[in-house]
Chain A
């Protein structure tokens, strides 16, 4: 009699656990490099209106997200702004399938309103520009590319003391929003978003500068999220998403 009670209880527990699991399958977690958050939010909305599944975006610096993934964070998809992190995740055997480039990003220089000029190098040389936001080159590819540009322009020494490092493009965007810097190297997505605020954006473009590939990877997870993850991956590569990335100033890979 007692045994039967326990058996019933165990069955109910298992049932509830399965129910939980099946409910959890309705949503996936996508770790996304900060610079992509704005277009990804737009894509998330589109996806959720089309399918009965939920997408949770977890923004962060690509490096931070990578270390979380390696330490067992339960994300289904990783969208990185830096290929080296994608390689690391694959090396650590956390990937399910291969990487796929979804778009390319460009560096923009944001300048506070009230500071004149069109040439980025000339602007940064001005006395008025006292602090320059930059995503840390070791952590963010936008930062690395921006620093390379500064070196090529031989501005490195000149602006060295003015640089304020952020851990990601997201943090640099916070400096911009708070007005705590006079200029900052950010990504195209801020320029094309509704949250760009005041100031002007100048594209940093040189022949030697390659656009920054934004790469997606499906991750190995214990949960039953693979189906939704695949669905979302296809959606990210689809027409609607491509248009959104384009709207935010990203360049697209040649369609297959």
Chain B
């Protein structure tokens, strides 16, 4: 049982860390991209959206190349923290963060863009700075977008496979998350175990969909 649960806990851990870190990244980039105008803004938006269309294997390949112990980034990270990025939890965490970035940032940005411009302008004329305006007026008015972003990021991380397999492999306790465990048990011809993992993920996905629907109704009523 403990052995069966390990990949599920690992998936959960990965999803929680990814969502927490991306929540911070999402809010900060929402602030910068929505409240300021500067050169190269549409390029940054395009780069953030890139993982949506990029095949996971392409992303996985570049991440693998970048994080190799012999590469610059991988070497620096290993020297600084004494941990190796590839085939470790840190590696798949970074991979998930990059891969799920648009799932967090896009809903936040479109939520912000959908707000009437006059709201933030009214706040400015009432003597509030950009930062105050962002957190006191804009963020409270995109609650449903924020919830959607958190949930979609979380669910997307749980379901991620290609990037994890490429940069993390299949290492128990480090990178063998639930989706990889299905693959692993298939390879080991333990079809009943693979079946159980698949069932858990199926139920999880259904619950997420219901949760999103329920939340959207609830938030609409606020």
- Which A residues are closer than 8 A to B by beta carbons? 29, 34, 37-38, 41, 56, 58-60, 68, 71-74, 168, 170-171, 173-174, 177, 193, 195, 222
Chain A residues closer than 8 Å to B188, beta-carbon distance: 37, 41, 59, 170
Chain B residues closer than 8 Å to A73, beta-carbon distance: 86-87, 169, 171
**Contact of B187 with A72 in the complex, beta carbons under 8 Å:** no
**Contact of B171 with A29 in the complex, beta carbons under 8 Å:** yes
Chain B residues closer than 8 Å to A168, beta-carbon distance: 187
- In angstroms, Cα B173 to Cα A56, docked, is 10
- In angstroms, Cα B68 to Cα A174, docked, is 32
Interface of A is mostly: mixed
Chain B residues closer than 8 Å to A60, beta-carbon distance: 170, 187
**Contact of A74 with B84 in the complex, beta carbons under 8 Å:** yes
Q: How many A-B residue pairs have CB under 8 A?
A: 54
Give residues of chain B (85-110) contacting chain A, Cβ–Cβ below 8 Å.
86-88
**Contact of A59 with B184 in the complex, beta carbons under 8 Å:** yes
Chain A residues closer than 8 Å to B84, beta-carbon distance: 72, 74, 222
Closest to A54 in B: B172
The contact of B69 among A56, A72, A170, A171, by CB within 8 Å, is A72
Q: Chain B 147-169, CB within 8 Å of chain A: the 1/0 string?
A: 00000000000000000000001
Chain A residues closer than 8 Å to B86, beta-carbon distance: 71-73
Closest to A169 in B: B187
**Contact of A170 with B191 in the complex, beta carbons under 8 Å:** no
Give residues of chain B (58-94) contacting chain A, Cβ–Cβ below 8 Å.
64, 68-70, 74, 84, 86-88
The contact of B186 among A74, A174, A222, by CB within 8 Å, is A174
**Closest CB of chain B to A153's CB: distance in Å?**
29
**Closest CB of chain B to A133's CB: distance in Å?**
14
- In angstroms, Cα B62 to Cα A154, docked, is 42
Chain A residues closer than 8 Å to B186, beta-carbon distance: 170, 174
**Contact of A68 with B87 in the complex, beta carbons under 8 Å:** yes
**Contact of A174 with B189 in the complex, beta carbons under 8 Å:** yes
Instruction: Output the residue of A29, A71, A168 with the most chain B CB within 10 A.
Output: A71
- In angstroms, Cα B188 to Cα A170, docked, is 7
**19 examples of A-B residue contacts, CB within 8 angstroms:** A29-B171, A38-B189, A58-B171, A60-B170, A60-B187, A71-B86, A71-B87, A72-B74, A72-B84, A72-B87, A73-B87, A74-B84, A74-B88, A170-B188, A171-B187, A174-B187, A177-B191, A193-B189, A222-B84
